[in-house]
Amino acid sequence: MAGESFPFTSSTLRALRLQREWLEWEDRRRAAAQRSRGSHRSLLSPQTRLLRPRRSCRDPAVHSALFSGDLQQVQALFQGEEAANMIVETVSNQLAWSAEQGFWVLTPKTKQTVPLTIAAARGYTDCARHLILQGAELDTRIGGRAALHEACARAQADCVRLLLTFGAKANVLSEEGMTPLHLCTDPESLQCARLLLEAGATVNLASQESQATALHVAAARGLDRHVALYLERGAAVDLRTSQGETALNAACAGAEAGPRHEAAARMLLEAGADPRAAGRKRHTPLHNACANGCAGLAELLLRHGASATVSNGAGHTPMDCALQAVQDVQNWEPEALFSALLDYGAKPIHPEMLKYCANFPRALEVLLNAYPCVPSCDTWVEAVLPELWQEHEAFYSSALGMVNQPRRLQHLARLAVRAQLGSCCRRATPQLPLPPLLRDYLLLCVEGRIQ
């Protein structure tokens, strides 16, 4: 009657079915425990039975049923607790270097796991449910990870829900010391993370070796929606890894030219993350952002108080890291990054370093306009590719013609105003009573020639 009166959604019906199956499974487990206690044939305690050696299986037919998710075969092959908890061994040939023979050789490597982990990792929910109802241990870590770890690593939300419904531990540790939440590393794993937190996963629990939290992992991968979820659930932004990295350090170190890492960093900063917190080798988040050529992320950090002049453990400033990125990062326009650093107080680079930007005329113009006069330096001129010189001859010729020549009074006035504003140049310039064109000029806008 209730089914006729209320329009149950598919998710509600699924939850009710899981609850009914869990109750049936619990009743069978209790009945089995009572029979075990009342039986005079078994002299083993429950603790002793857990230590009983497991069966191992290398049968290709069993492997095929599990890895293909053939429910009928799984139901036929896995009957009872012993079968559901057998060790499944797979052997694969992998290339390994042989020092004795001096070349790569194919070496067989054996991997061990259990049926439930295979089914959960591949999203075979019906197979996983059958194995659980047959007595599969939920948190066993044969092969290093539990079924919940693998389900989260593969973003199998339905299997995560199933495992948690039947009592899998949300904070179960892998042999590497990581929780399932640490393995939510794919954008599609957001629902898995939600389910874990609803089931009691500890958001600030650090991995045993690296001391990284789930927030560190999500920030490093630019998972902005995961970062938002963890912050909403109380993730601490000031926790550090064993290398001294905060989540903001991790976000900037893993940053790529794109919006995701920048969005994650913005959330962390708004939650109180310190933009000057130095981590490994005294790299600040700004050093990392500049090394990755992320102009938008660098400007975001600078707006929140990052220092454009601080040195890391090697004595390199963020500008030095940006110059290195010119060589390492492909297909980007470095002038925006150089302009932001100069506007927030970075010093002009040594003339010898101009050669690294010689083939980026717009970036070179920004850097040359930071000097009172164009310095005498043949290294950057010699570094320009002939075809690029031909394409941008007007700019390169104007720069070469102004070497050690007096610059216009307008340019000298610009430098005087910028020096007075210091690191507040970019924030203060929009508030000055100046025409828009003059404001752009003050902020080293690119004109295509040196005057």
Same domain, 217 and 255: yes
CA 174 to CA 147: how far, in whole Å?
10
Classify 72 as helix, strand or coil. helix
| Of 46, 15, 51, 12, nearest in space to 29 by CA | 46
| Of 230, 275, 270, 222, nearest in space to 248 by CA | 275
Which residues lie below 8 Å from residue 442, measured CB to CB, with a gap of 6+?
A: 414, 417, 418, 425, 429, 432, 434
Classify 134 as helix, strand or coil. coil
Q: Could you read off the pLDDT tens digit of each residue along the chain, which spans 451 residues?
A: 343 444 445 555 555 566 566 656 666 666 655 554 454 334 334 444 444 467 777 888 888 999 999 999 999 999 999 999 999 987 766 677 767 667 676 676 778 999 999 999 999 999 999 999 999 999 999 999 999 999 999 999 999 999 999 999 999 999 999 999 999 999 999 999 999 999 999 999 999 999 999 999 999 999 999 999 999 999 999 999 999 999 999 999 999 766 899 999 999 999 999 999 998 889 999 999 999 999 999 999 999 999 999 999 999 999 999 999 988 887 788 999 999 999 999 999 999 999 999 999 999 999 999 999 999 888 889 999 999 999 999 999 999 999 989 999 999 999 999 999 999 999 999 999 999 999 999 999 999 999 8
Which residues lie below 8 Å from residue 258, measured CB to CB, with a gap of 6+?
A: 222
Task: Tell me the chain's radius of gyration from C-alpha atoms.
Answer: 31
| Tokens linked to 287 | 């050093």
Number of neighbouring beta carbons within 10 Å of residue 31: 10
Q: Residue 377: its pLDDT value, please?
A: 81
Q: Residue 48: its pLDDT value, please?
A: 40
Is residue 157 included in any domain, yes or no?
Answer: yes
Q: Residues 236, 219: contact at Cβ < 8 Å?
A: no
Same domain, 221 and 318: yes
Domain range for 126 is 15-32+54-98+112-202
Specify the amino acid at residue 64. S
Number of neighbouring beta carbons within 10 Å of residue 368: 24
Q: Residue 51: its pLDDT value, please?
A: 44
Same domain, 190 and 71: yes
Same domain, 171 and 296: no
Specify the amino acid at residue 269. L
Q: Residue 257: its pLDDT value, please?
A: 60
DSSP labels, 98-127: ETTTTEEEEEEEEEEE-HHHHHHHTT-HHH
Strands 87-98 and 56-57: parallel
Last residue of one domain, picked from the residues 202, 230, 255: 202
Same domain, 293 and 314: yes
Q: Residue 151: its pLDDT value, please?
A: 97
Same domain, 393 and 332: no
CA 69 to CA 47: how far, in whole Å?
32
Q: Tell me which H or E stretch contains 344.
A: none
- Specify the pTM: 0.84
Is residue 168 included in any domain, yes or no?
Answer: yes
Is residue 49 included in any domain, yes or no?
Answer: no
Same domain, 85 and 160: yes
Last residue of one domain, picked from the residues 148, 181, 202: 202
Q: Residue 242: its pLDDT value, please?
A: 94
**Length of the chain, in residues:** 451
CA 299 to CA 290: how far, in whole Å?
10
Residue matched to tokens 């939650």: 271
Same domain, 376 and 331: no
N-terminal to C-terminal alpha carbon distance within the chain: 86
Same domain, 297 and 224: yes
- The structural domain count of the chain equals 3
Could you tell me the sign of the dihedral formed by the alpha carbons of 30, 35, 38, 43, in that order?
negative
Q: How many CA atoms lie within 13 A of 309 on its CB side?
A: 9
Q: Residue 106: its pLDDT value, please?
A: 67
Last residue of one domain, picked from the residues 202, 237, 260: 202
CATH number at residue 126: 1.25.40.20
